[in-house]
Structure 1
Amino acid sequence: MQQVSQDVTWHQASVSSEQRQQLNGHRSVLLWYTGLSGSGKSTIANAVDVKLHQLGVHGYVLDGDNVRHGLNGDLGFNDQDRVENIRRISEVANLMVDAGLVVSTAFISPFIQDRAQARQLLGERFIEVFVDTPLSVCEQRDPKGLYQKARAGEIKHFTGIDSAYEAPVTPEVHLKTDLFCIEQCAQQVVDVLVAKQVISQSSL
């Protein structure tokens, strides 16, 4: 990561994040979904986004694959590139949260240290959502056929096969998709947002 030039100055926006949140009628936070490939991160994140949209909440989902089509299209999947991938998306998500949105990021984000840096950047606006799905279940689903390719040696540095996944220790939300359906998992996330007063009970 390059150092920021001393000639670059951070400019404070004329409209504050607090003013944007007041206009939207809800707080802005980052829902950081983490879990193995095929665990259900994107599916649940989008299900939550639909629920929030129906409640009038301004949100957006940053999907791992979508971001790699553009912003992070130059990155591979070795450990160094994975770290940079998460660093960039943390910065983008931070700007979007500052804009007053409830942002969801659906990335494997396998390393505890990287997620800790994202939490440090966002502070209390960071909500970690651990989509806890057993590897065997993820392999059985294998919606993109990636596990099969990884087992055959066609994909290197694949999380859960030949690259480690470091599970969260104390996530704010712990979802078990092998025990609960997508609708139930999405509702658990919404319930946490109400409990944390991100959205109001009256919105439901």
Structure 2
Amino acid sequence: MEKVVAVAVGATRPAICSPSLAEVDFRTSVKMSGFFNVSRLRSLQPIKALEESATASVVQESAAISGNNLCQNSTVAKSTNILWHKNSVDKRDRQQLLQQKGCVIWITGLSGSGKSTLACALSQALHWRGKLTYILDGDNCRHGLNRDLSFKAEDRVENIRRIGEVAKLFADAGVICIACLISPYRKDRDACRSMLPEGDFIEVFMDVPLQVCEARDPKGLYKLAREGKVKGFTGIDDPYEPPLNCEVGVHVWYRFELAETWRITKWLF
């Protein structure tokens, strides 16, 4: 069957149909209308999907929240010969459309401190107020966005960097992005903060004592760490660096009151 590429000039019907991309002169299309829309694109071969990694054990899973990565840097190569292309619709326009401030709420704390619980409660509270939010959960991101990353120290740094970059895009789109992940080192959190304009990064510290988190131990990882079966576990034999100047500190140990979520929203309205 013939593979067809249709390039629509302007917003009307296709102007070019050819069996290969090589025959499409994008420069001509741009000159004619100032832009082009690709309405159908079938000639590209699908990118080979990343192979599923072997089923991770509980010990492997724990590596996502541990490790000595204080001095590690991302090994991902930097792009060259690129320019930033400005759009006619900017963040202010999108915020005006959504009637809200696009920003990142970064929830950090030990495993079992209640980061995901607070993220969901906050998202629900904002939803009730008619605000558009999206949660970037550290574990969830490893199912897709970061599925190619291992649990080596340098990959954990890259994991935080990617989530920070995606959170920045959500904020630029006018969305209130709620990121919840341990992110134990200030260096990584500060790097994510530096991606956004001042005031658009709200750091929320789950200031919950280690003994409380260990008593909860929802994944059983603290027990494994105490038994020596998990090495470099945050809070046990790997440090957690609490924020020095976070915007919000949460000290609720056993259940979340609605007041805690409203206290965070004061930074948004």
Q: How high is the TM-score relative to the length of structure 2?
A: 0.68
Separation in structure 2 between the aligned mates of residue 53 and residue 75 of structure 1, nearest angstrom: 32
- What's 2:246 paired with? 171
Cα distance change, pair 136–19 in 1 and its aligned pair in 2 (3 A):
same
Alignment CA distance shift 1:112-1:103 (3 Å): same
Partner of 2:79: 5
* Rg (Cα) greater in structure: 2
C-alpha contact 1:29 1:126 (8 A) present in aligned 2? yes
| Matching residue within 95, 111, 117 for 1:43 | 117
- 1:94 corresponding residue in structure 2: 168
Residues 1:126 and 2:193 are matched in the alignment: no
Establish whether residue 142 from structure 1 lines up as the match of residue 217 from structure 2.
yes
Counterpart in the other structure of 2:61: none
Contact 1:44–1:182 (Cα < 8 Å) also in 2: no
1:11, 1:57 → 2: CA distance?
Answer: 29
Would you say 1:64 and 2:143 are equivalent positions? Answer: no
Residue of structure 1 aligned with 2:190, choices 95, 100, 116 = 116
Aligned-residue offset at 1:107: 0.6
Give the superposition deviation at 1:162.
1.8
* Equivalenced residues, count: 194
Amino acid at match of 1:153: G
Q: Secondary structure at the match of 1:26?
A: coil
The 3-state SS of whatever aligns with 2:197 is: helix
Residues 14-29 of structure 1 correspond to what in structure 2 (within 5 A)? 14-29=88-103
- What is the alpha-carbon root mean square deviation over aligned residues? 1.6
Per the TM alignment, residue 187 of structure 1 is displaced from its structure 2 partner at its CA by 2.4
* In 2, Cα distance between equivalents of 1:54 and 1:38: 26
Mean alpha-carbon deviation: is it higher for 43-52 or for 156-165? 156-165
The AA in structure 2 aligned to 1:10 is W
Q: Is the 8 A contact 2:133 2:177 kept in 1?
A: yes
Task: Give the conservation status (yes or no) of the 8 Å contact 1:62–1:103.
Answer: yes
Q: CA deviation at 1:179?
A: 7.1
2: CA distance between counterparts of 1:28 and 1:91? 14
Query: Aligned with 1:70: secondary structure?
Result: coil
- Equivalent residue letter for 2:118: I
Secondary structure in 2 aligned to 1:45? helix
Q: Give TM-score, length-normalised by structure 1.
A: 0.88
Which structure is higher in RCO with an 8 Å CA cutoff and minimum separation 6?
A: 1
Higher helix share: 1
SS of residue in 2 equivalent to 1:122: coil
Alpha-carbon distance, 1:181 to partner: 2.7
